[in-house]
Structure 1
Amino acid sequence: MKSLGIDIGTTSICVAVYESENETLPFVTSRKNSFISEKFEQDPELIIDNVMEMLLEAKTNGYGEDILDAIGVSSQMHGILYINKEGEAVSPFYTWKDEKGKKLKEDGKSYEAYLQEVTGLSMFSGYGTVTHYFLGENGLIPHVAYRMVNIGDYVAMRLTGRKSPLIDESIAASFGGYQIETEDFAWDILKNAGVKTEYYPEISHSGKPFGFYKGVPVSCALGDNQASFYCVMDRPEEQININVGTGSQVVIYDKRNIYKERIEVRPYLKKGSLYVGASINGGKVYERLAAFFEEIIYEFTGMKINAFEKMSFIGAEKTASSLLINPSLYGSRLNKSEYAKIENLTADNFHPSDFIRAYVRGMAEELFQLYMDFPKEIREGRREIIASGNGIRKNRLMAEEIEKKFDMRLRFSDIEEEAAAGAAKAALDLLVQ
């Protein structure tokens, strides 16, 4: 059987065809995704245009709707856009990187801090509920807006022609203000905090199709975290998933819901929960280091280079370094004042090789500390790391340092486009088999 997966990532959009018999991807294509100007916003119609173009490319290559059994969608989580009653986008897509929630209210508190304090719920700037609250408080919700959805939901709506949104719990939970126990939003708590809850979409609690694209059943959009995890994990009770993309995450599965401060617990396809330690520092901070070296070379020589490949060789010159670097260039959700720092810099370790090795080790250290915050009882029995995401797949130094820090074997899945493949596989399992 064959299914097609569409993944709307922060920096790229991917379409992949999944064959269930041999678990391979015979067709993959992608397009760049980009922000509007300097804002952390994206154009939903441009995304739709790219998706339609890639579906046509898939059909031209022999993977049209006539041979597909299902279509799945996965999406970068947390973000929102507004639609009108006709199911049309009436706003940009405010992504998970949106920083409106960090702005200050008249009383000097940030919007995210206010919601955390008043609701007692875990949500941060970039989460849909925080962005929605800011826009509502400042009169910035479009007057024709009817509901808010994630970009993956909007793609599913446009594919199927559906006008009323219906979202999977993985997306609902990513907004903030969702409670796993009740499988619904904390309506009273959100209303009492001043959140305009009338814009929230309906949550799907069934495996029925969201709709049909040219006769092919389309599933509700999944969060990319859940989709990727579903693709790569073959023994989830024994494994750890580390995903490094634009941001980074360490994820483990358990059937139980054990809550602990600092840890996010996400619903997982009615199978249990995913415990997630998420960092806003991931592959993007390594890109910034590469850009730093490229800028130095250009300033001194006028030459433009690509530093990535050379950095890997230079960093490999040192297997260890006394230099300590915390590369949190984009801060921390849990500690608003924590940013990158360098310690123990000496004449002996003042070299590019030390800097690169220490920098990557710091990235691994952050993920390990997030993992150690998980409840002890669900960390027990973990024997292997499954790595995913281009931020680690294309950075062998990162893989080395994670193996050392976690003291576990690390391996990559055979499938590279994990989120698109996971969405396709889940759609097949949920809608067909």
Structure 2
Amino acid sequence: MMLAGIDIGTTSICCTIGDPATGREIVTLRSANDASIPSDRPWERLQDPERIVAEAMRLLAACTERLKGGGVALSAIGISCQMHGIVYTDRSGMACSPLYTWQDGRAALAADSGGGATYAERLAEASGYSVAPGYGLATHYVNVLRGEVPPDAASICTIGDYLAMRLCGLAAPLTDPSNAAGLGLFALERLDFDRQAVRRAGLDDALLPRVAGERQAVVGRTPEGTPVVCAIGDNQASFLGAVPALGGTLLVNVGTGAQLSAYAERPQANAPLEARPFPGGGYLLVGASLGGGKSYALLERFFRGVCAAFCSGPEAEAGSRSAGEEAEEGRLYERMNRLAGEALEREAADGPPGGRLAVGTQFFGTRLHPDKTGYIAGLTEHNFNPGDLTLGVLRGILDELARFVSLLPKPVREGIAVVAGSGNGLRRNPVLRRLAEQRFGMPLHFAAAAEEAAWGAAIYAGVGAGLFRSAEEALSTMQRSENG
């Protein structure tokens, strides 16, 4: 009997199947999430939920096809999904809107034409809760005020909840607290939405999804009878899929965004650190950056623009491929990594001539301050070059995460014995890995399963379906290091 985990990311979708008895990864398939919907609103970020569901189902079918003939079957299906975004569904359980992703910026707009408070700030005033732009109920709040809620909307859910509904043929969503809290207006102590706060904000609480209880992990079954476990947030799933144990581990994740996470039994957190419900009990204390891999991608875009402007045409070297053409083939990241590595080696050998560049990578703002901007400081004639700039951006990504460590409760902070890494930003960039080990003062632990969120969803599927008594027991069997 095998466990399947599906991860719906912002830029990719993945399905993995693992053996719960040995922790062996049987098959993993992934594809690009090409469901983005173009918009003429620069602050809007939409995806097509039907396209996402179709691709997730295709990957699941392709993975299970590999199992046929081996005398094995699926014990359960787990789902991880990009957090905070929402889909409106109708009474039949079908999507009646696009997916408004976590990157949607409508709640950061001024609520009045003359400027002033943003929609997110107005929601905070009305509800008593701070809800960042991109969080589902902040997005919904704007849609309500602007009259943009679909007329046939019967419920709100995450994209993971929607996939679970479609897999089981359900008409209404069931959401795990890890995803529900990511929508906002959520009472951590009750592990449910604060419906009074929702109503104070002028929102209809009948649209809220039902929140799963402590013993209510299974949403339903597929037509083949396979249990589908409630979708969990990708941050929590990545933690499960990356760490050797819940306690005593600090997780540094750099993907499209970036997070620093640690497990705690109680929701002790100070803003901007968040306490997020953890599947099966406890909480993740999370510091989330809106940049991460996006910041590095922004730098790549800048270099690509320079290449296109100056390194193509007749001035390019005769007979050579232009730098712009190489960039389009994805080789520019390799050059950036090499230049950053060379700059790091120069520092190690001679010290940073003229001092290090200080780069603030808040190019996309922060959760609490959407208007905050990035910066580059300490420029000299010695470090004003592509290598030092690239190295400075990589350091800036980690610096933004490392500031959250001091906000962790003292017992959690002092109990950290392992720093685990996850996300393609860390896995694929050896310079960033080296910098992270320097910044956090110990070697990074990487799980054998490279798709941590999908693997974490598979692990939780085993817990939710009753194959394991707890997440700790599941980790002891299913989690292995990339070094064996």
Tell me, yes or no, whether TM beats 0.5.
yes
CA pair 198-366 structure 1, distance change in 2 beyond 3 A: same
Letter aligned with residue 249 of structure 1: Q
Q: CA deviation at 1:251?
A: 0.1
Q: Matches of residues 259-278 of structure 1 in structure 2 within 5 Å?
A: 259-278=269-288
Q: Matches of residues 134-145 of structure 1 in structure 2 within 5 Å?
A: 134-145=142-153
Aligned counterpart for 1:207 among listed residues 216, 223, 226: 216
Aligned counterpart for 2:74 among listed residues 68, 77, 92: 68
The residue aligned with 1:27 is 27
Stretch moving more, 155-164 or 335-344: 335-344
Q: Does 1:289 align with 2:299?
A: yes
- Give a deviation string over 1:256-306, Cα, whole Å, max 9, x none: 222323211011123311000001101111112122222222222222122
Secondary structure, aligned partner of 1:348:
coil
Aligned counterpart for 2:177 among listed residues 147, 169, 183: 169
Q: CA deviation at 1:66?
A: 6.4
How many percent identity over aligned positions? 36
Q: Matches of residues 176-255 of structure 1 in structure 2 within 5 Å?
A: 176-205=184-213, 206-213=215-222, 214-255=224-265
Secondary structure, aligned partner of 1:330:
coil
Q: What CA distance in whole angstroms lies between the structure 1 residues aligned with 2:58 and 2:277?
A: 32
Root mean square deviation of aligned Cα = 1.7
Aligned counterpart for 2:430 among listed residues 396, 411, 415: 396
Secondary structure, aligned partner of 1:21:
coil
Q: Does 1:300 align with 2:325?
A: no
Q: What CA distance in whole angstroms lies between the structure 2 residues aligned with 1:399 and 1:119?
A: 41
Task: Tell whether the 8 Å contact from 2:105 to 2:134 is kept in structure 1 after alignment.
Answer: yes
TM-score normalised by structure 2 residue count: 0.86
Letter aligned with residue 175 of structure 1: L
CA pair 258-60 structure 1, distance change in 2 beyond 3 A: closer
Task: Tell whether the 8 Å contact from 1:264 to 1:277 is kept in structure 2 after alignment.
Answer: yes
Stretch moving more, 184-193 or 328-337: 328-337
Secondary structure, aligned partner of 1:242:
strand
CA pair 146-112 structure 1, distance change in 2 beyond 3 A: same
- Give a deviation string over 1:280-336, Cα, whole Å, max 9, x none: 101111112122222222222222122111211111112244211112221112223
Aligned length: 433
Task: Tell whether the 8 Å contact from 2:2 to 2:72 is kept in structure 1 after alignment.
Answer: no
Q: Does 1:45 align with 2:50?
A: yes
Task: Tell whether the 8 Å contact from 1:207 to 1:431 is kept in structure 2 after alignment.
Answer: no
Aligned counterpart for 2:64 among listed residues 45, 51, 59: 59
The residue aligned with 1:343 is 377
CA pair 55-258 structure 1, distance change in 2 beyond 3 A: closer
Stretches of structure 2 that go unaligned for 5 or more consecutive residues are: 313-321, 468-484
Q: CA deviation at 1:208?
A: 4.4
Q: CA deviation at 1:366?
A: 0.4
Q: CA deviation at 1:7?
A: 0.7
Q: Matches of residues 344-423 of structure 1 in structure 2 within 5 Å?
A: 344-423=378-457
Q: What CA distance in whole angstroms lies between the structure 2 residues aligned with 1:208 and 1:235?
A: 21
The residue aligned with 1:7 is 7
Letter aligned with residue 247 of structure 2: E
Q: What CA distance in whole angstroms lies between the structure 1 residues aligned with 2:305 and 2:50?
A: 34
Secondary structure, aligned partner of 2:404:
helix
Stretch moving more, 350-359 or 116-125: 116-125
Letter aligned with residue 31 of structure 1: S
The residue aligned with 1:330 is 364
The residue aligned with 2:111 is 105
Secondary structure, aligned partner of 1:5:
strand
Stretch moving more, 288-297 or 213-222: 288-297
Aligned counterpart for 1:257 among listed residues 247, 267, 272: 267
- Following TM superposition, where does structure 1 have runs of at least 4 consecutive aligned residues deviating by more than 3 angstroms? 63-66
Letter aligned with residue 96 of structure 1: W
Letter aligned with residue 368 of structure 1: A
The residue aligned with 1:316 is 341
- Give a deviation string over 1:34-87, Cα, whole Å, max 9, x none: 321144111011111112221221233225996111111110000101000000
Letter aligned with residue 219 of structure 2: F
Q: Which protein has the larger Cα radius of gyration, Structure 1 or Structure 2?
A: 2
Stretches of structure 1 that go unaligned for 5 or more consecutive residues are: none
Stretch moving more, 19-28 or 329-338: 329-338
Q: What CA distance in whole angstroms lies between the structure 1 residues aligned with 2:294 and 2:267?
A: 31
Secondary structure, aligned partner of 1:364:
helix
Letter aligned with residue 36 of structure 1: I
Q: What CA distance in whole angstroms lies between the structure 1 residues aligned with 2:268 and 2:68?
A: 43
